[in-house]
């Protein structure tokens, strides 16, 4: 088991290239199995979720090779359509392989994903939509079996713009007969990236980036070489680090186009933000100003950065207010921040944070973004902060210690 140790009160300065996006690369990897050949992805982040997805694809019969940040997936021989239990449960987003496997081989087995630390995370919307496309789905002892004699395009209405369900539908509809019209699709940039990749593979998609998608299924999809965009959530994390610790940093490959709501919130809280062709530069002097934020589907404020904002409010001048509308369990990090002296009152979906001073403490990373938020809290705390259960952070950050060290943070990892 490894821990991260952070010494607070060192301001940050420098430049950083942002890793490829976790939430974009995983559906891109799933899309690769729709092509009976090799697909190449560049700027792939070397994170645990990618390694886990590679393991799952290999168990299905694909040959995956990751050299540096380039991943090639050869899906010529897909010999199995059973998502292995271990990989499937380790990474909930493996559920999007259901749509891809149905599209490619008309059958898929997957373990029903359990609850997780940020909320119950049901998959009812995924399953309903796949059934509407013609799949018969049965559950036996926690194992889902989906099969069809060939999916058929149809009209689907999503009652909530679920990111995963939208991706599952896209992947299934890409291999279906006829046209699928999807109302209420998620508009997250990662969905658009998947649409563009499928488009380049030969699927005709109208309405990319909107909540109304029209997908014309194609039986034979081509491969290609694709670029994973920079991770907007990692950019947001490191921007929050600069705001918590003070200083100035430039983030290259940082997807500023997709950070509108985040950067405008950070500006309102006192950060100076400059965007040009090099990337996003964030600088901060003094403490953050109070603000009120409600999370929501894109283009709203991303739930993935909510715990980072909580930290900024906790070390700010006048605190702040948060309303979490996406995942009910995303306030778990508040309990750990209390150990560092934060004053946070949680009432259902709302958090009332009083601004103040944090002190170093031993805290536990509860989930991926919550763990990163504790690292950022450590940068602004008096003394040393010790963060345990760092494996959560490794799911989405290539090397958070190295990145922050390069900006001047005093941080290290001990195993
Ligand atoms: C994805 C992202 C995650 C991000 C989230 C919301 C990936 C790998 N993960 O997760 O980082 O925080 O989008 O932007 O891309 N829901 C249902 N039934 C369903 C599906 C979802 O009720 O069948 C609910 C969920 O419980 C949650 C909400 O819808 O309350 C949003 O979930 P969803 O958009 O599906 O998130 P994920 O795709 O799991």
Among protein residues, the one whose CA lies closest to atom 5 of ligand 1? 163
* 119 band by pLDDT with thresholds 50, 70 and 90: low
| pLDDT for 115 | 44
> Do the Cβ atoms of 306 and 374 come closer than 8 Å?
no
Q: Tell me, letter by letter, the H, E, C secondary structure of 188-255.
A: CHHHHHHHHHHHHHCCEEECCCCCEEEEECCCCCCCEEEECCECHHHHHHHHHHHHHHCEEEEEECCC
CB of 123 sitting under 6 A from ligand 1: yes
Rounded mean pLDDT, 288-304: 97
Full-model pTM: 0.97
Summarised one tens digit per residue, pLDDT across range 327-374 is 877 899 999 999 999 999 999 999 999 999 999 999 999 999 999 999
More confidently predicted of 89 and 406: 406
> Do the Cβ atoms of 322 and 306 come closer than 8 Å?
yes
Nearest residue to 261 (alpha-carbon basis) of 318, 208, 205, 299: 299
**392 by DSSP, 3-state: which?**
helix
- Residue 80 bears catalytic tag: no
Summarised one tens digit per residue, pLDDT across range 238-261 is 999 999 999 999 999 998 889 999
| pLDDT for 330 | 83
Summarised one tens digit per residue, pLDDT across range 393-402 is 999 999 999 9
Lowest mean per-residue pLDDT among 136-150, 292-306, 335-349, 359-373: 136-150
The overall average pLDDT reported for the chain is 95
| pLDDT for 1 | 77
Quick one: how far is CA 25 from the chain centroid? 9
Distance 133 CA to ligand 1 centre (A): 21
15 sits in the region (left: phi over 0; alpha: psi -120 to 50; else beta) called beta
Tokens 């292995």 belong to 84
* 120 band by pLDDT with thresholds 50, 70 and 90: low
CB of 128 sitting under 6 A from ligand 1: no
Distance 326 CA to ligand 1 centre (A): 8
* 90 band by pLDDT with thresholds 50, 70 and 90: confident
Distance 107 CA to ligand 1 centre (A): 24
Summarised one tens digit per residue, pLDDT across range 165-177 is 999 999 999 999 9
Residue in 52, 62, 80, 116 annotated catalytic:
116
Rounded mean pLDDT, 208-232: 96
| pLDDT for 114 | 54
CB of 158 sitting under 6 A from ligand 1: no
Instruction: Name residue 280's beta-bridge partners.
Output: 251, 275
């Amino acid at each position: 088991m490894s821990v991260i140790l952070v010494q607070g009160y060192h301001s940050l300065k420098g430049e950083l290239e942002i890793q490829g996006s976790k939430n974009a690369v995983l559906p891109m990897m799933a899309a690769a199995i729709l092509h009976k050949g090799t697909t190449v992805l560049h700027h792939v982040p070397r994170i645990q979720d990618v390694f886990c997805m590679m393991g799952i694809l290999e168990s299905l019969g694909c040959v995956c090779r990751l050299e540096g940040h380039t991943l090639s997936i050869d899906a010529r021989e897909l010999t199995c359509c059973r998502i292995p239990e271990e990989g499937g449960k380790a990474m909930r987003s493996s559920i999007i392989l259901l749509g891809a496997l149905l599209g490619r081989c008309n059958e898929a087995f997957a373990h029903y994903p359990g609850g997780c630390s940020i909320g119950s995370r049901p998959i009812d919307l995924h399953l309903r939509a796949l059934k509407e496309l013609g799949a018969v789905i049965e559950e036996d002892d926690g194992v889902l079996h989906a099969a069809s004699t060939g999916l058929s395009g149809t009209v689907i209405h999503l009652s909530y713009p679920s990111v995963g369900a939208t991706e599952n539908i896209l992947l299934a509809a890409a291999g279906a007969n006829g046209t699928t019209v999807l109302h209420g699709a998620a508009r997250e940039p990662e969905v658009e990236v998947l649409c563009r990749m499928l488009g380049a593979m030969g699927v005709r998609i109208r309405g990319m980036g909107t909540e109304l998608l029209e997908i014309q299924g194609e039986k034979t999809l081509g491969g290609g070489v694709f670029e994973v965009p920079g991770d907007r959530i990692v950019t947001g994390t490191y921007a929050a680090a600069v705001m918590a610790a003070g200083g100035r940093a430039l983030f290259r490959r940082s997807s500023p186009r997709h950070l509108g709501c985040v950067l405008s919130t950070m500006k309102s809280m006192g950060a100076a933000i400059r965007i040009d062709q090099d990337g996003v530069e964030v600088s901060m002097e003094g403490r953050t100003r109070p603000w009120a934020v409600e999370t929501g589907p894109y283009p709203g404020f991303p739930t993935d950065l909510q715990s980072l904002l909580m930290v900024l409010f906790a070390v700010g001048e006048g605190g702040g207010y948060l309303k979490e509308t996406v995942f009910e369990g995303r306030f778990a990090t508040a309990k750990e921040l209390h150990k560092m002296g934060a004053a946070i009152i949680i009432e259902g979906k709302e958090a009332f944070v009083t601004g103040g001073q944090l002190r170093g403490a031993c805290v536990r990373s509860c989930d991926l973004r919550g763990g990163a938020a504790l690292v950022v809290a450590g940068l602004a705390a008096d003394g040393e902060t010790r963060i345990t259960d760092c494996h959560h952070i490794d799911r989405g950050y290539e090397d958070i210690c190295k990145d922050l060290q390069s900006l001047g943070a005093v941080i290290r990892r001990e195993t």
